[in-house]
Amino acid sequence: MTLLSGLLLARRADAYRPFDGTDADVAELGTFELELGPTHYYRQGSQNYLLVPATVLNFGVLEGTEIVIDAQDRLAIGKLGAGVPRFAFADDDVLVKHTFRDGILQGKTGVSIAAEGGLLTPEVNGTDSIGASIDVITSYRWSFGTIHWNEWFELTREHYANLYTGVILEGPFDWRVRPVAELYYDKDWLEGSTESALVGAIWTLKDSFMLDAAVRGARVADQDALEVRLGFTWTLTMWEPKGKSATD
């Protein structure tokens, strides 16, 4: 498959909307979470893309453990650069995320610690091979805001090492609309480095439904990049664990 298409769009699937990193929490047992960006706009260098959609599926399969499935449908618009396909199914993976220390995100005290790892699956019109990923996440929340720290290692589909360090900052959790930001540095021994900054907001309409919007600017190798993200997170109870009463 076309290697150049991967080089032109060096980014990760959304893991906690609207961020590239994630938090040290998981979907509750018996719940399903849909994180969907119906249409994202992305520009890198002179090439424009639509991500239609950017999708993350989370299934709470055990207490403190979820299965995560990521994927993006990537549509290049306008004139195509050399080796860039019009359509690609990319950034797909199957991961398992587990909370190793219940902390403030789980209604207890102290830091919350989780890890997320699994397989990077073959892409369509991207890189047709398998990689691996492991991310260690630490989160803490105060009355004035929340921080999530990600240290992420990947063996890419091209079988090169990739190291990612990122921090997510959120405003007060009890605000209906809270400002958010993310900074990260990503070093790929094949593609070069990426420096990224994101600003946006999350609007909590109710506990089971949140809207998000963000703008991300980045420097990918020697090219500038810009992305606009709009989406939502919807949580649905699939079954009620034994011994737990139903709640809204």
List % helix, strand, coil for the chain (3-state, nearest 5): 5, 60, 35
Q: For the segment 38-82, what is each residue's pLDDT rounded down to a tens digit? A: 999 999 999 999 999 999 999 999 999 999 999 999 999 999 988
- pLDDT confidence of 83, banded at 50, 70, 90? confident
Q: What is the pLDDT of residue 15?
A: 59
Q: Does residue 148 contact residue 22 with C-beta atoms inside 8 Å?
A: yes
Task: Give the global pTM.
Answer: 0.92
DSSP the chain: --HHHHHHT-----SBTTBSS--S--PPTTEEEEEEES-EEEEETTEEEEEEEEEEEEEEEETTEEEEEEEEEEEEESSPPTT--SEEEEEEEEEEEEEEE--GGGTSSS-EEEEEEEEEPPPBSS--S-EEEEEEEEEEEETTEEEEEEEEEEE-TTS-EEEEEEEEEE--TTSSEEEEEEEEEEEETTTEEEEEEEEEEEEEEETTEEEEEEEEEEEETTEEEEEEEEEEEEEEE-SPPTT-----
- pLDDT confidence of 3, banded at 50, 70, 90? very low
Q: What is the pLDDT of residue 97?
A: 98
Task: Give the domains, in start order, of the chain with CATH numbers.
Answer: 3-231 (2.40.160.40)
What is the average per-residue pLDDT within 197-217?
97
